[in-house]
Amino acid sequence: MKLAFCLFKYFPFGGMQRDFLRIARECRDRGHSIHVYTMNWEGESEPGFQVHVIKSDSVQNHTRMVSFVRQLQSILKQEQYDRVIGFNKMPGLDFYYAADVCYQKRAQEKHGMLYRLLPRYKQLVQFERQVFARGASTQILAISPFAQHEFNTYYQTEPERFHLLPPGIAPDRLAPPNADEIRLRVREQHKVASDDLLILMVGSGFKTKGVDRAIHALAALPNDLLTHCQLFVIGQDNAESFKKQAENSGVTQQVKFLGGRADVADFYLAADVLVHPAYHENTGTVLLEALAAGLPVITTDVCGYAHYVKSADAGVVLASPFNQNEFNKTVEGVLLSDRERWRENGLSFASNTDIYSMPVKAADHIEQAAPRVVPAQSRVVPAEAGIHLSFESMMRLTGENFRDQPGRQTLRVKLGDNNYFIKKHTGVGWREIFKNLLQLKKPVLGARNERLAIEKLDKIGIAVPKVIAYGEQGSNPARRRSFVLLQELAPVISLEQLAERWRATPPSPVFKRQLIKEVARIARLMHENGVNHRDFYICHFLLDISAANEKQPTLYLIDLHRAEIRQHLPERWIIKDLAGLYFSSINSGLTRRDYLRFIQQYRNMSLREITARENNRWRKVKLRGERLYREHN
């Protein structure tokens, strides 16, 4: 087969780059033709590889990436490749090797709303979405189950697209028969006395790997121990700020930065402990390399491979959240302890566990995949229900106007024999964006919000309108155009309209109880799964009256364009949703007992427990709902 491997940059000492090289070599050794597309190749050429360097004159990283991807897409259209394998997130891949963590998760946890308005964030999230979005075709070679969970949370990626690979450390990391000779030689070359203790760090990306934490721990050692300790840092990165930190901490003489090296396996044998206090790490291959060399490990539980250290009983894994004092004491304790048991456990683990076959398994998946199909000129809109319209054709659709606001319009349209609702967004403008930010509200920039919320709720068992088509155009958040086409729900009636009928014809007690139970179930599921509606009123619940069943009514939740999805839903958003529901139901004829029944169903516990634990929450809901009612009446 003719294979295209794509990555933004290759250098010999990056973990992802080493994985790329091993997988590509395995494919080459099986007789496949290997073409590599990259912006930069450092190091020696690889026999049997045809390396194509795509240059970009852009100044910023994300614009260079965009330029690279555009040129690559043009090349891929001309060349007939059987598989396209990417090691960075980009469109047009058959396989993506998921070495990186979920960028959107990290950005939302570490940065505020203003950061997420920057073009860099928008572009990187777009690349990530083109790989992981539900409905995409890219197969994902996953190396961490934790990362798979994150991508499922943010993009609702289909589980069947993930292929979990075993670790794949190089066999040369195993301790050889002459390990003691190598240990003595390396320590002599680098002036490490036989009774000195050598702490090792390995990995490019010093900030992410926690080099600052390691220097703090070194400086915190008692003086009598510190004088017999050295910290060696191996990896390709800018070390100036960390050298300054070592100088300020008084440990300049004990810290050495050795750069990226091809002989790192020898340093595993020469060291006494590997420290890897990473801030975040999808896997942490160095942890397994250390175990295979018989080197005890101190690491953090945010590393995907930290569980191997635990199961091997070959070191210490620190629990989150990270505590520097705890790390300092752990390093001191390990240095003063007898580490022979950990050494033997690591060697035994490496001899009896498959931590080497990742390249083989990855090549198997690449070979066994279905033949690549190069699509014709792609449409923005997926074809469903006989609809084959371009983005512009969708945006020009006309019909019965249900809502027309600045930047947003909702129409009822007829396509073929069926009716649909299309929600068109034409850009809210910077003024509206900044107004929302100043009010600490998340601005709604287009139809994507509604599509993602519908997909999320559908997945967790809440009835929602079916998304027939979706399109988005433009990178400027203030002028971005988008639409979502939804199947019309019919015949239905909103709970608000139903409540008005109840004034003349009260419902049966059974029917009312079942409706309350279903609304509570929807609210509970929504909030438990990190979704808040932001317009949670009874008018946005539609009852299916085509097959009315008093004991099992079907309720659809609609109008999700402002909904938000989070990992953990703050209490204030829960209260806002529940207060909206209460406010909108005040005139519906519900009794105090009805409200208590809702609360009991929503919390799935007894009223006595709710009163004891959550009386304050429900008091806030009631006060806020009544305030809304006064403001609107």
- Mind listing the pLDDT tens digit for each residue in 607-620? 888 888 888 999 99
Q: What band does 281 get if pLDDT is binned at 50, 70 and 90?
A: confident
Can you give the pLDDT at residue 549? 61
Joined together, the tokens standing for residue 46 give 């690889």
What is the amino acid identity at position 133?
A
pLDDT digits (tens, 9 = 90+) for 4-60: 999 999 998 888 998 999 999 999 999 999 999 999 999 899 999 999 999 987 878
The correct answer on CATH 3.40.50.2000 for the domain covering 171-353 is: yes
Contact 471, 483 (CB under 8 A): yes
Q: What is the pLDDT of residue 388?
A: 54
Quote the CA–CA distance of 202 and 570 in Å, as a whole number.
38
Q: Which fold has domain 491-633?
A: Transferase(Phosphotransferase); domain 1 (1.10.510)
**2-164 and 171-353 share one fold:** yes
337-364: burial string, b at 16+ Cβ within 10 Å, e else = eebeebbebbbebbeebebbebbebbbe
- CA-to-CA distance for 246 and 256, rounded, in angstroms? 10
Give the Cα-Cα-Cα angle 430, 435, 440 (nearest 5 degrees): 125
Confidence of residue 389 (pLDDT cuts 50, 70, 90): low
Residue 385 clears pLDDT 50, i.e. is over it: no
- pTM exceeds 0.75, yes or no: no
Fold that domain 382-488 belongs to in CATH: Phosphorylase Kinase; domain 1 (3.30.200)
Domain residue ranges of the chain, discontinuous segments joined by +: 2-164, 171-353, 382-488, 491-633
Q: Is 3.40.140.80 the CATH number for 2-164?
A: no
pLDDT in tens, 103-138: 998 888 888 888 888 888 999 999 999 999 988 889
Q: Report the pLDDT averaged over residues 256-284.
A: 93
